[in-house]
C-alpha cells in the first residue's frame, strides 16, 4: 500500500502552561497542507524492516516513528511483520509535522492491510501513544487542538478560500530547543501582575492573553496579524532573525496572515484565492 503523508500548519499556537507530567498545555488550529508530502509504502514481509530515502536526518531507521506505529498496534493485534519504505520530502525540524504524519499514515496503512477494523477514534488512541501531533493526521482536516495537541475538535475553516505559501529556511529547530525558551501564558500573566515588563517576551497584547483562539479566528482575517499569535515566535526570531525577515516578506507579497508553523522553522503566508 502506498500513501502520501502530508504536512500541517498551525493557525495560532498558544502555550498555556507547563503541566505536571512535563508536557505543555497548548491551543492551536491545525490545518492540513497538501503542498508537501512524503511517500510511504507498507508491504507485508517476513521480517520487520525500514528503509529511508530522500531528505537525510539523524537517527537509526528502526527507531523511526513508523516502526513505533507498528509496535503500538502489534501490542494489541497479532499482525505479521511489514517492510516500510519512506521517501522524505517534508523537511525535518521545521514544524510541519512530517514525522507525525508518517507515523499516523503507517497506522492507517496497517489498519487497512490487516483489516483490523479500527475506527478513526480508535486509531487516534494509538496515534497519541506515538506523538502529540499524530492524532490530527488521522482526521487530516481542520481541527482545534488542546492538551498536548491530542484533544481534537472539528473546526469549520474554509480551506478552499485560501492558498498557503510555505517557506523552508533550512534551519533545523528541535522541539526540545523550542520549548526550552518558551514562557507559558500563565507565567506571563503572573509576571504582569507582579509589575514586570513582558513586551519583549510575547507578541500578544497583554489584555488578550486569555482570549480564546475561537474568538480570534471568528474575526476578519485582516485582524489576525496582531492577534493570532504563535507563542514560539519571540524567542525563535531572536535566535534566528532570518525568520522575522521571511515573515515581513510574506506580508509585503500580500499575505493576509503570516506565521511560524508549530515550533518552526518553516514560515507560511496565507493568501486569499
Residues with a known catalytic role = 8, 133
CA distances 113 to 54, 62, 85, 110, Å, are 25, 21, 15, 5
Asked if 116 contacts 77 with a C-beta cutoff of 8 angstroms, the reply is yes
DSSP annotation of 184 reads -
Q: How many CB atoms lie within 10 A of CB 94?
A: 26
Asked if 264 contacts 173 with a C-beta cutoff of 8 angstroms, the reply is yes
- Please provide residue 158's backbone torsions phi and psi, each rounded to the nearest 5 degrees: -75, 75
- Please provide residue 266's backbone torsions phi and psi, each rounded to the nearest 5 degrees: -65, 140
3-class secondary-structure state, position 185? helix
CA neighbor of 36 nearest in space, from 55, 50, 21, 57:
55
Please name the residues in contact with 80: beta carbons below 8 A apart, sequence gap of 6 or more: 44, 45, 114
Asked if 134 contacts 8 with a C-beta cutoff of 8 angstroms, the reply is no
Amino acid at each position: 500500500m502506498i500513501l502520501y503523508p502530508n504536512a500541517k500548519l498551525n493557525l495560532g499556537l498558544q502555550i498555556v502552561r507547563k503541566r505536571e507530567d512535563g508536557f505543555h498545555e497548548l491551543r492551536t488550529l491545525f490545518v492540513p497542507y497538501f503542498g508537501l508530502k512524503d511517500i510511504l509504502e507498507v508491504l507485508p514481509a517476513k521480517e520487520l524492516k525500514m528503509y529511508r530515502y530522500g531528505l537525510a536526518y539523524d537517527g537509526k531507521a528502526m527507531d523511526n516513528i513508523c516502526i513505533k506505529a507498528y509496535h503500538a498496534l502489534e501490542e494489541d493485534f497479532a499482525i505479521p511483520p511489514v517492510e516500510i519504505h519512506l521517501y522524505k520530502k517534508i523537511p525535518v525540524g521545521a514544524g510541519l509535522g512530517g514525522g507525525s504524519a508518517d507515523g499516523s499514515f503507517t497506522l492507517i496503512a496497517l489498519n487497512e492491510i490487516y483489516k483490523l477494523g479500527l475506527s478513526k477514534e480508535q486509531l487516534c488512541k494509538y496515534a497519541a501513544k506515538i506523538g502529540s501531533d499524530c492524532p490530527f493526521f488521522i482526521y487530516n482536516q481542520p481541527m482545534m487542538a488542546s492538551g498536548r495537541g491530542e484533544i481534537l475538535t472539528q473546526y469549520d475553516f474554509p480551506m478552499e478560500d485560501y492558498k498557503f505559501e510555505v517557506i523552508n529556511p533550512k534551519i533545523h529547530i528541535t522541539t526540545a530547543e523550542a520549548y526550552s525558551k518558551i514562557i507559558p501564558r500563565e507565567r506571563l500573566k503572573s509576571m504582569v501582575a507582579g509589575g514586570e515588563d513582558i513586551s519583549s517576551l510575547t507578541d500578544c497584547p497583554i489584555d488578550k492573553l486569555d482570549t480564546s483562539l475561537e474568538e480570534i479566528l471568528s474575526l476578519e482575517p485582516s485582524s489576525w496579524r496582531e492577534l493570532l499569535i504563535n507563542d514560539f515566535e519571540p524567542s525563535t526570531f531572536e535566535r534566528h532573525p532570518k525568520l522575522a525577515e521571511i515573515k515581513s516578506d510574506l506580508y509585503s507579497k500580500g499575505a493576509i496572515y503570516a506565521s511560524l508553523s508549530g515550533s518552526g522553522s518553516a514560515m507560511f503566508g496565507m493568501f486569499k484565492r
